[in-house]
Amino acid sequence: PRKYPGGPPGVAAPRLLEASPDAPRRYVTMDVEDAKNLETWLEVGSWSWNWMEPPLGQASFFLLCLQYSRDQIQKIGGKSYTEYIMEKRGTKLCDTFPQYNKLAVAAFGKSIMAS
């Protein structure tokens, strides 16, 4: 069974707002706020956002760069990764079953990827 650091995925998100003294030390290397600054769930949420914002920002920027690259590749006539895989699958099926109509087999290979 898969072990999640904060419990199952549905339970892990609310743990960001948990102010137990050992929770931040297990996952975060940042200094823990004073107890007077972590009295409400809003203060705990604000503190947890301070250490989660940099990695989330970097991940979001990386995804934005991937989307931009894909769009630019399509604008110059290139194929997206999905289109490449669909064509490759159709070609592989044509090579595996040469006795059948190549157009029909290639179209089938592309269609099973889309469904």
Residue 38's pLDDT band (cuts 50, 70, 90): confident
Res 75: pLDDT: 93
Highest mean pLDDT among 23-32, 60-69, 76-85: 60-69
Looking at every residue in the chain, the average pLDDT score rounds to 77
The residue-averaged pLDDT of 26-54 equals: 75
Residue 113 has pLDDT above 80, yes or no: no
Tell me the pTM: 0.50
**DSSP letter string, 64-108:** HHHHHHHHHHHHTTPPPHHHHHHHHHHHHHHHH-TTS-HHHHHHH
